[in-house]
Amino acid sequence: MAARLLVILLLALAVAAPPARAQDDTANIIVMQADEVRYDDINGITTATGSVEFAHQGRILQADNVTYNEPADLVIATGNVVLVEPTGEVLFSEYAEMTGDLREGLIRGIQILLAENARLAANGARRIDGRITEMSKAVYSPCELCEDSLNHSPFWQIKARRVIHDEALQDLIYYDATLELFGVPVVYTPYLRHPDPTVERRTGFLTPQYGSSSTLGYNLLVPYYFDLAPNRDFTFAPLVTEDEGVVLFGEYRERTETGTYVLDGSITYTDARDNTGQKTGGDEERWHLKAEGLWHYDQTWQYGFDLYRSSDDTYLSRYSINDADTLTSDLFAEGFRGRSYASAFGYAFQGLRPDEVQGEIPLVAPLLDYNMVTDPDEDGSFFTIDANTLALTRNDGTDSRRLSFEAGWERPFLTDGGHLFIYRASLRGDAYQVDDVQLGNGLPDYSGFVGRVIPQTSLEWRYPLQRQSGSMQQLVEPIVMTVLSPNGGNPAEIPNEDSQDFEFDDVNLFSENRFPGLDRVEGGLRINYGLRMGVYGYGGGRSEFLIGQVWHAQDDDTFGPQSGLDGHFSDFVGRVLISPGRYVDLLYRFRLSNDDLSFRRSELGFSVGLDWMKLSGNYIRLEDAPINVVDTSDAREQFNLRASTEILEEWTLQADWRQDLSGGGTISYGGSLTYENECIAITGRGERNFTDNIGIDPETVIFLTLKLKTLG
């Protein structure tokens, strides 16, 4: 192998250029290296052979042979020609004639490798100004060749009489173009234009979705994307349906210097319906609006909003936008500093259940919170302050204004024997001004002032016992918490607005107050006790078990029947977690009756499988479970299952099933099949919903999406 030679040609010496700008001379430097270089100083011709590399201003030309005619400023390259552009684009050929700066010229039998592995091939091409490649009889495709097809054609390709690739505009422009699938022509167009694969976002059509449902009939969703600026965009998506007319969807997104906001909505003019979904005659506008925003004022404060409204109760469910039964809008500001938090919220709700009266749904504004936790002292003790202000107003029903303040202190103690004690003490005061509180028992509604003061103290003991066993660590930890506060504390004049969604489980077993809000408190002497055990592997696997119970010195009628807390001894609650590795996760949560150890609640969630096949699901059974603090409902039992598998390298199959095991039958089932490779993604899904929603009968939904990658 001949020694590599390096030649530096200073074009500035051969061109009559002003000598004052040395940087221009540097820009005109051409670097050539090859196995052998010959120079004809009479004619000004340099000939290089053997692994030639010719570089100028970021462009690199590689070939078996390169001849550079300096007077004519002409480069001729033959044999395995490769031209690498500064943008990363790569051109392949067997013969090329280029100017000395490699920006213009003619190329025979060109092949171009673009971003995302897309390729262009043509009989010939002409380079113009280093940014435009004009090709004749060209083919474009990002697909690999299908070796098992009859003609080895790619999955899809575009053939055109003439193609222009404008690198500056990042566009591919076709004239007399035909789209082929497996080599079979399917669509012809005299003109086609789309961004090249280097473009991340550009105005144009997005992937359409074709579908059919027993509610809407055949339907087609055609999104069009507007790239308004680097920090904002808009998507317009008309949904054309067979039975329900045309629905116009739109989404506007913008990122500002301090945050982001999104406006999303839809509107249609169709059959008028009442709140049960029945047609009332005539037409009306139906719509929804959903918006959210979040901005940062400084390192401490942020503010924002959420807006969600609908024209009527059944619009969202009829067009499969959302199945929520309550829409929440809010305006907020919140601050985080150290271990402290402050917030101001205002809430408005729209109920979508047919039996709800909008005038009885409250407006919550303002809702102010302040929570402070001091840094621990040398002994680990710290103070807490919690303050809350609430105003809740209805057009019809109870109104309340609340002011709450609580101060607390906590101190941990760790003995030499490993016993951990945590002592807590707090004092809380609540003041209410209420209107029209229903007292029941034939008493008149109450309006006026009511307050309470609640001192509370607790002592928690933990004794974690740990043992090393091979590559595992074993843990056994008994836990006992004693809590003391006055009995009662819940006068009938205080309405229960924020503590109705109550559930006794393993999460709040060791809580001092198990109610989620402030309107209800847990009083009296009580002891929470339980046992936690675990096995932990160095490889990340773990198994845990927890079981516990609560003892109340005095019956507390604050907790309703079947809550699990209505006697001296509560039900047993606990959980079992098994996660031996990344392929198995299982969580079982339970509540056992204190009387006969029968299961009052069982909840199982699991996920098993490898990367190519996974099965997940959850099962829940509620035996006479309370839906709030005082009311109860019949037993409920439901099972959800979801499975996914890659049946072949590029095929994914998914299926899901929801079953009401308490007599309601199948809730829904469905499945999807997806084929995706380097150039195409096809998804088909079908589902059957048996839930009889308001104005929506059980329906079957089928939709199909087809995406040709890099084409738009």
Alpha carbon distance 244, 219 (integer Å): 9
Q: What is the DSSP string of 434-481?
A: EEEE---TTPPPEEEEEEEEEEEEEEEEE--EEEEETTEEEEEEEEEE
pLDDT grade, residue 26 (50/70/90)? low
Considering only 281-290, 343-352, 479-488, which range has the smallest mean pLDDT?
A: 281-290
Task: Please give the average per-residue pLDDT across 148-161, as a whole number.
Answer: 78
pLDDT recorded at residue 391: 96
Mean pLDDT of 378-391: 96
| Contact predicate 107/124, CB 8 Å | yes
- pLDDT at 277 (0 to 100): 67
Average pLDDT (326-337) is 96
Mean pLDDT score of the chain, rounded to an integer?
A: 88
Say if residues 203 and 233 touch (Cβ distance below 8 Å): no
Strands (E) in 374-398, as ranges, are 382-393
**pLDDT bucket at 20, cuts 50 / 70 / 90:** very low
How far apart are alpha carbons 314 and 689 in whole angstroms?
Answer: 16
Whether pLDDT at 624 is above 90: no
Alpha-carbon distances of 101 from 83, 98, 417, rounded to whole Å = 12, 8, 81
Pairing of strands 132-141, 171-181: unpaired
pLDDT surpassing 60 at residue 280: yes
Query: Strand 699-708 relative to strand 680-689: parallel, antiparallel, unpaired?
Result: antiparallel
Higher local confidence (pLDDT), 154 or 132: 154
Flag the least confident range among 277-281, 300-304, 416-420: 277-281
% of the chain with per-residue pLDDT over 70: 92
Pairing of strands 599-610, 472-485: unpaired
State the DSSP string of 286-335: EEEEEEEEEEE-SSSEEEEEEEEEESSSSHHHHTTS---SEEEEEEEEEE
Distance CA 317, CA 698 (A): 12
Query: What is the arithmetic mean of pLDDT over 562-581?
Result: 91
**pLDDT tens, residue by residue, 496-534:** 999 988 889 999 999 999 999 999 999 999 999 999 999
Give the residue-averaged pLDDT of 611-620. Answer: 92
pLDDT at 712: 64
Sign, CA torsion 214/215/216/222:
negative
Model pTM score: 0.82
Check if the beta carbon of residue 139 is closer than 8 Å to that of residue 151.
no
Q: What are phi and psi of 26, to 5 degrees?
A: -60, -40
pLDDT, greater one: 647 or 241: 241
Specify the pairing of strand 119-128 against strand 132-141: antiparallel
Alpha-carbon distance values, 33 to 3, 27, 48, 144 (Å): 10, 18, 8, 34
Q: What is the pLDDT of residue 70?
A: 86
The band of 151, judged by pLDDT with boundaries at 50, 70 and 90, is low
- Domain over 5-195 is classified CATH 2.60.450.10: yes
pLDDT bucket at 409, cuts 50 / 70 / 90: very high
Predicted local distance difference test score (pLDDT) of residue 480: 98
pLDDT, residue 378, reads 92
Q: What is the mean pLDDT of residues 394-422?
A: 95
- pLDDT at site 147: 57
Checking if the pLDDT of 424 tops 60, the result is yes
Q: Which amino acid is at 291?
A: A
Q: Would you say residue 7 has pLDDT above 90?
A: no
Does a cis peptide bond (omega within 30 degrees of 0) precede residue 366?
A: yes
395: left (phi over 0), alpha (psi -120 to 50) or beta: alpha
Query: Does an H or E element contain 369, and which?
Result: strand 363-373
* Mean pLDDT calculated for residue range 378-384: 95
Only one residue has tokens 């309340």, namely 400
Please tell me the predicted confidence (pLDDT) of residue 32: 79
**Alpha-carbon distances of 131 from 97, 124, 299, 582, rounded to whole Å:** 16, 16, 45, 50
Check residue 244 and give its pLDDT: 87
Mean pLDDT of 535-545: 90
Residue 558 has pLDDT above 90, yes or no: no
Each domain of the chain, given as residue ranges in start order, spans: 5-195, 407-426+457-634
Highest mean pLDDT among 70-74, 279-283, 690-694: 70-74
By 3-state DSSP, what share of the chain in percent is helix, strand and coil, each rounded to 5?
5, 65, 35
